[in-house]
Amino acid sequence: MSAPPTAQQPSLVTPTVADSPEMPGKRVRLAVDRPMRLDSGVEIGGFQIAYQTYGTLNADKSNAILICHALTGDHFVVEKHPVTGKPGWWEMLVGPGKPVDTDRYFVICSNVLGGCLGSTGPKDIDPATGQPYGLSFPVVTIGDMVRAQKLLVEHLGIEKLFCVVGGSMGGMQVLQWAVAYPESVFAAVPIATAARHSAQNIAFHEVGRQAIMADPNWRGGNYLLEGTKPEAGLAVARMAAHITYLSETALHRKFGRNLQDRKAITYGFDADFQVESYLRYQGAAFVERFDANSYLYITRAMDYFDLAADAGGTLANAFRPGGKTTPVRFCLASFSSDWLFPTSESRAIVHALNAVAANVSFVEIETDKGHDAFLLDEPEFHQVIHGFLEGCAEHRGLSARRRAR
C-alpha cells in the first residue's frame, strides 16, 4: 500500500501484492479498536476497505446513496478504471444529471470485504504469518460485506443512508442492508437479484471454482507465494460465468454462427467462431484485474446467501423487524430475459414484502439483453430508478432536483 495510512490507523495489515502504488481512491482501516465478528465466528480487525465517493454530502447528511457492486465489480463506479482503463461500470445510471444524480446525492461505493481492488482479501498479507492469506483468509458472507460497509458509513459520519442501490450480488447486499439495518436505510433498490442463491446458480459458481482449483498454477491457493498465476482456470471460470450474464437472443444477435477472421471452419480447435473468440477475450481480460482466490471467496458468499433461512425459514419475517413492518421503501427491478436472476426471484421478494404490507414498487423491464441489462443502456429502467428516487427524495424532504447554479 502506497498511500500513507492516516494518523489513527495502525498498520495491522501490511502492504499487499496487487495494491499498486498508482491505485487511486480512498482507503480506511475499520474495526481497529474492536474486531468485527464474521458470520463464521472468526473475528477480523483492522481490515482495509477501499472506496470512492462522488458528489457532496449535505449539511444534515441525508443525501447519501450507497452503491453495492456485483461479483466482479469494484468501487470505480463513474471513473476510468485504474487497471483496465475502461469507463466506470455504472456510468449509465450514475453521474451528474443521471438517475443517481451526483449533483444532488453523495454517492459512496466500496470494494467488498474479500475483494481484490484495495479492500482486505485473500491476496493480502496475513500479519500473523507475513505471507498472503490465500485460503487461510476467513470465509466471508454477504452479511459480513454489509457489516463492513456499515462501519464505513459510520466512519463517514452518516447515520441513515438515503438509499442503497445494487444489482445482482449488489442487490443481495441491498436486501441485507434493509434487513440488518432497517433504521439506517430510507430506501432500497435491489436490482436483478434474489433473496437466496438458487441451486442452478450455486452449480454455475462451483464450475467456476473447480476450473480455478484444477489449474496446476493455483497451487492449493498458494500461487502468490509460489510465484505462479492460475490464469487458465480463472479465465475458464469467467467464460462460463459470462455466458450466464447474457441471453440466448443476445448471444445470437451479437455473434450468430459467424466465423472469426476466417472464411471457413478449420477442422480444429482454434477459435473458429466469433463467440469463442469473444469468450476467450473476456477470460483473458478478466485475469488482468481479478484475483483467483478472491473469486472463490466472493462466489461462496453469494452461494451462502439465504435471507429466509436467517429469518426462521419465512422470507416475510426478514422484513418484520421487532414484529413491525419494515420502514424501508423498496423498488425492485428485474429483466425479462435474465435467466440467472429471473423475474420470479424478484417477485418472491415482492410477495414477502406485500405479506408485511411494506412500501414496495416492482417493475420487470422488457429486454433481450439478459442479466447484464442492469449495466446497459435501458432507458425504461433508468426512468424507473429516477422516478423512484425523486419520489423518495420528496418524502425524505430533500430539496429540489438541482442546487441553483
Partner 1 sequence: MVDIRDDLKLIAEMVEPNSRVLDVGCGDGALLDYLSHAKNVDGRGIELSMDGVRQCVAHGLSVIQGDAETDLKDYPAGAFDYVILGQTLQAMRQPRDVLQMMCRIGRRAIVSVPNFGYWRVRLQLMLTGRMPVTEKLGYQWWETPNIHFCTLRDFVVLTEEMGITIEQTRIIDRAGRVTSHAHSGLANLLGEQGVFLLRGNGG
Confirm if 25 and 75 have CB atoms less than 8 A apart. yes
CB within 8 Å of 14: residues ≥ 6 apart: 1, 125, 127, 130
Binds partner 1 (CB under 8 A): choice among 79, 91, 276, 364: 364
| Beta carbon of residue 252, minimum distance to partner 1 (angstroms, whole number) | 24
Residue 398 engages partner 1 in binding (rule: CB under 8 A): no
Binds partner 1 (CB under 8 A): choice among 91, 350, 376, 396: 350
Torsion of CA 242, 253, 90, 175, to 10 degrees: -60
Residue 129 engages partner 1 in binding (rule: CB under 8 A): no
Residue 399 engages partner 1 in binding (rule: CB under 8 A): no
| Beta carbon of residue 362, minimum distance to partner 1 (angstroms, whole number) | 4
The annotated binding site is made up of 238, 372
Residue 287 DSSP symbol = H
Rounded Cα distance, 249 and 280, in Å: 20
Residue 354 engages partner 1 in binding (rule: CB under 8 A): yes
Binds partner 1 (CB under 8 A): choice among 360, 373, 375, 398: 360
Rounded Cα distance, 382 and 272, in Å: 38
Ordered DSSP codes for 11-35? -SS---SS--TT--SEEEEESSSSP
223 backbone φψ class: left, alpha, beta (φ>0; ψ -120 to 50) = alpha
371 annotated active-site = yes
Q: Residue 364 or residue 368: which is nearer to partner 1 going by CB? A: 364
Q: Please count the residues of this chain forming the interface with partner 1, following the rule CB under 8 A.
A: 26
Binds partner 1 (CB under 8 A): choice among 250, 356, 373, 398: 356
Q: Residue 83 or residue 350: which is nearer to partner 1 going by CB? A: 350
Q: Residue 159 or residue 394: which is nearer to partner 1 going by CB? A: 394
Cell of 259: 466465423
The annotated binding site for substrate is made up of 238, 372
The catalytic position among 101, 110, 338, 346 is 338
Binds partner 1 (CB under 8 A): choice among 123, 329, 369, 371: 329
The catalytic position among 168, 184, 334, 346 is 168
Contacts 24+ apart (CB under 8 A), 393-401: 393/104, 393/162, 395/329, 396/62, 396/162, 396/186, 396/187, 397/62, 398/58, 398/62, 398/63, 398/104, 398/162, 401/101, 401/104
162, 33, 32, 114: which is closest to 301 by C-alpha?
114
Contacts 24+ apart (CB under 8 A), 205-209: 205/241, 205/299, 205/300, 205/302, 205/303, 207/237, 207/240, 208/236, 208/237, 208/238, 208/240, 208/241, 208/295, 208/299, 209/237, 209/295, 209/296, 209/299, 209/300
Residues 65-104 that bind partner 1 (CB under 8 A): none
Q: Which stretch binds partner 1 (CB under 8 A): 47-55, 110-118, 194-202, 387-395?
A: 387-395
338 annotated active-site = yes
Q: Which stretch binds partner 1 (CB under 8 A): 37-45, 216-224, 253-261, 386-394?
A: 386-394
Residue 210 engages partner 1 in binding (rule: CB under 8 A): no
Residue 341 engages partner 1 in binding (rule: CB under 8 A): no
Q: Which stretch binds partner 1 (CB under 8 A): 8-16, 203-211, 281-289, 361-369?
A: 361-369
Residue 43 engages partner 1 in binding (rule: CB under 8 A): no
386 annotated active-site = no
Rounded Cα distance, 190 and 176, in Å: 10
Binds partner 1 (CB under 8 A): choice among 359, 368, 376, 396: 359
Q: Residue 26 or residue 386: which is nearer to partner 1 going by CB? A: 386
| Beta carbon of residue 404, minimum distance to partner 1 (angstroms, whole number) | 22
76, 86, 149, 77: which is closest to 112 by C-alpha?
149
User: Which residues are designated catalytic?
Assistant: 168, 338, 371
Contact residues for partner 1, defined by CB under 8 A: 329, 331, 347, 350-351, 354-357, 359-364, 366, 380, 383-384, 386-388, 390-392, 394
